[in-house]
Chains A and B, each alone.
Chain A
Amino acid sequence: MAGGSDAVENTGLSCVRCGKPAHLQCPKCVQLKLPREDAAFCSQDCFKASWSSHKSVHSGTKPSSPAPENSSERNLGPPNDGWLYCLRKGQSRTPKVPHFDWTGPLRPYPISQKRFVPNHIDQPDWAIDGIPKIEPNSDLQHVVEIKTPEQIKRMRETCRIAREVLDAAARIVRPGITTDEIDAVVHEATISAGGYPSPLNYHFFPKSCCTSVNEIICHGIPDARILEDGDIVNVDVTVYYKGVHADLNETYFVGNVDEASKRLVQCTYECLDKAIAAVKPGVRFREMGEIISRHASMSGFSVVKSYCGHGIGELFHCAPNIPHYAKNKAVGVMKAGQTFTIEPMINSGVWRDRTWPDGWTSVTADGKRSAQFEHTLLVTDTGVEVLSARLPSSPKVFPWASP
């Protein structure tokens, strides 16, 4: 965010025309209650110079301005070489940045073309037309499955692959690369291992993993935005292999991040750790929310309530639902042989979320940062086995974690 002048309070808005800090706005836009970001100007001169193109916003015909000239986006070449903005959950694309009352500094960037999956890879039913058919109609949405030893064996193997794919992504995270490049690595690593990247085309999701930067809570879509020094980014990987899914995610530091972000990420890591430590037969699913919520609020953070942990196995998402907030009415107790994820999303500010026009990206309602960690777990007779656990070969990206 540009630092404001000392004399006048920083509004946080940039001039639509030149990018300098803005302290003036178009009165017509105020009257029409149009988004402030498109109506901000540093001076009457810039306003006057932009007027002929700006005024079409009032009649709703102009798309909002694209990223300013010193763009933090890859030079895509005209006309973007097929890179477009995502809409309607991935069912359509547009060359224009959609309108939205953005909650923080982040904006969507164009996304690349759909990646190819070779025919020999075993694919879930949504790979073809974007619509899962088996999953929503399965009994496993109501009953928590006890996995057979054979299924557990497959899950261990798939979780191992998913862990290695995530580690491959972690290794390339640094300032200067795009989230699209992370997606390319995830996609290639998954295919090379013989797996299918489960998110790809799941309810039309356009990419092979979710990359959630800064104020994005989850389901961020990999795009042309370049990661900046100081960002935090979550990479969420799910692999489908030998008929079962494995789901895990981690939040990484991009270059040097501020203390507040470090605290947020570490607290989130600990929330998951503490929840996992309590997993064993007989424990209620609703207890996870109590543990996570208690630890988060001790550090002054809030817990996202819209998304929850879920059963996993031959289905990507199934029973049980595991909310991460306290005082929830989740049904059931843990039993040996169950496999599910716990994936707390913890926010610096408020817990509320909003969804971008792409239909997927969930952001904090106040634009402040959010972090997440996730594991796929197996309940054993005496406790828990973290199927997606870090390996000795996993990159050492968390200063507090034991090697």
Chain B
Amino acid sequence: MEPYDDEEPPLAIAIDDVVEDKTTPPSLVEQRDNLRPDLPEAQPVGVTVITGYLGAGKSTLVSSILNGQHGKKIAVILNEFGEEIGVERAMINEGEGGALVEEWVELANGCICCTVKHSLVQALEQLIERKERLDHILLETTGLANPAPLASVLWLDDQLESDVRLDSIITVVDAKNLRYQLESNHDSSSFPEAYNQIAFADVVILNKVDLVSSDDSGVALKDLEKDIHNINSLATIIRSVRCQVDLSIILDRRAYDVTHATHLEALLKENRNLSTSDLHDSGVRTLCISEPKEVHLEKARVWIEELLWDKKYGMDVYRCKGILNIGNSDQLHTLQAVREVYEIVPTRKWRNDEDRVNKIVFIGRSLNEEILVNTIKATLCNP
């Protein structure tokens, strides 16, 4: 800063010299670049929802991510107050020593119902805008939360070109207490939390494995994993002690990114039957159906909508992921649903060596395989 006499004005400079050209105003994408100049084209920031019972180890997980030496700048939103107070506390590992900085995220109170974006999304976008660089956001929920509403709020339409994107839902479960939690909730309609949190998870961190006795050569843990997969056979299970996990497995999972190859390939190659046994009539479980013939896109939409929106046949679908073989199209279509929010989108061309097939995984309660297998036949192009 050059020291000039404050009494006398400096020489005014010509306006054309300045980079910013107001005559062709930048679109907001370019403005975003001005705020985060180190990125050539700012990518949306992934949001991971972390859920799990009190004491399962969520806070430990969050703490180990914040304090880890990974070079990533991560913001953690601690969902302590809920929306009544209108603010959330965020901790961000900024600065060179990875020092933790506390920030307040203000939720916009307002016309919640004629705005498309929930106030939480707007608050996260504002946080991203304020920060020069943010690599990821963790949203830690309270212990008993059902992650489904949060997922619907965060799973934005691509059209909104938001700075925020839902990356995955991670549930931390306590290996020592899981069996008890599942059994005490086995009439899962009255206390569904344990089942919900596993059913909606993309990743389940099976924590405190050191507390489960090891003298049965790991059978107990394998049984737990089987129980978890019985509820949700799509979830990736990671065993951990004190929630020490490899960050690269948790972040950037892109579980809601239709173009992300890994999930598609896994689903296509999956030969073993993903359907799980029905432990109890009202239990939450996974069902996978397969149908080789082409389906009609519009009829497939109606079929899914009747299941998700009308709860036809009494089935309660929590999550749905699938590949569709749509008639009159060379594109593989992907189906994704969380509760009632769903989308079917063309994803990529079928490869010549691929067997075209419909493969759909349902996670939910009161699922009926026979009905699903029969009713999808009504959507076939050539029945």
Contacts and interface: CB of A to CB of B under 8 A. Distances in A.
Contact of A310 (B18, B28, B114): B114
Contacts of A316: 113
B113 A306 contact: no
A203 B22 CA distance: 34
B28 A27 contact: no
Nearest to B336: A329
Contacts of A55: 6, 9
A305 B20 CA distance: 26
A284 B310 CA distance: 13
Interface stretch (B153-161, B240-248, B273-281): B153-161
Given A26-B12, A321-B116, A329-B341, A352 B28 contact: yes
Contact of B157 (A10, A24, A307, A329): A329
B11 A36 contact: no
Contact of B22 (A11, A47, A318, A329): A11
Nearest to B19: A30
B90 to A, nearest CB: 21
B252 interface: no
Contacts of B13: 24-25, 27, 30
A12 B22 contact: yes
A327 B159 CA distance: 7
Contacts of A327: 157-159
B109 A89 contact: yes
Contacts of B159: 305, 325-328
B115 A307 contact: yes
A47 B341 contact: no
Contacts of B12: 24-27, 41, 44, 47
B25 A307 contact: no
A284 B340 CA distance: 13
Contacts of A131: 109
Interface in B170-229: none
A391 interface: no
B249 interface: no
A350 B29 CA distance: 11
B114 A323 contact: no
Nearest to A308: B116
A367 B305 contact: no
A307 B15 contact: no
A342 B315 CA distance: 32
Interface in B37-91: none
Interface string B308-345: 01000000000000000000000000000000111100
A28 B27 CA distance: 26
B331 to A, nearest CB: 15
A258 interface: no
Nearest to B116: A308
Contacts of A128: none
A11 B23 contact: yes
B112 A365 contact: no
B9 A141 contact: no
Interface string B105-132: 0001111111111000000000000000
B305 A328 contact: no
Of A10, A318, A329, the most chain B CB neighbours within 10 A belong to A329
Contacts of B9: 26, 47-48, 51, 54-55
Nearest to A323: B116
Contacts of A321: 113, 116
A307 B160 CA distance: 11
Given A27-B10, A55-B9, A366-B25, A203 B15 contact: no
Contacts of A66: none
B116 A306 contact: yes
Contacts of B20: 36
A181 interface: no
B16 interface: yes
B14 interface: yes
A328 B28 CA distance: 21
B25 A305 contact: no
A332 interface: yes
Contacts of B11: 27, 44
Interface in A51-71: 51, 54-55
A327 B103 CA distance: 35
Contacts of A135: 113
A350 B22 contact: no
Contacts of B15: 11, 13, 22-25, 36, 40
B14 A308 contact: no
Nearest to A43: B12
Contact of A318 (B16, B113, B160, B342): B113
B109 A323 contact: no
Contacts of B309: 331-333
Nearest to A284: B305
A259 interface: no
Contacts of A150: none
Interface string B133-160: 0000000000000000000000101111
A123 interface: no
B115 A308 contact: yes
Contacts of B157: 323, 325, 327-329
A22 B13 CA distance: 11
A129 interface: no
A193 B129 CA distance: 46
B117 A306 contact: yes
A284 B111 CA distance: 24
Of B16, B22, B340, B342, the most chain A CB neighbours within 10 A belong to B22
A308 B114 contact: yes
Contact of B25 (A309, A318, A365): A365
A352 B309 CA distance: 31
A368 to B, nearest CB: 8
A295 interface: no
Contacts of A403: none
- Top 9 nearest A-B pairs (CB, nearest first) are A317-B113, A24-B12, A51-B9, A352-B28, A366-B25, A47-B12, A331-B340, A11-B15, A27-B13
10 contacts: A11-B15, A11-B22, A12-B22, A26-B9, A51-B9, A55-B6, A305-B159, A328-B159, A333-B309, A367-B25
Given A47-B12, A51-B9, A326-B159, 18 more contacts: A10-B23, A11-B16, A23-B14, A23-B16, A24-B14, A25-B12, A27-B13, A41-B12, A55-B6, A89-B110, A135-B113, A219-B111, A305-B159, A305-B160, A317-B111, A327-B158, A328-B157, A366-B27
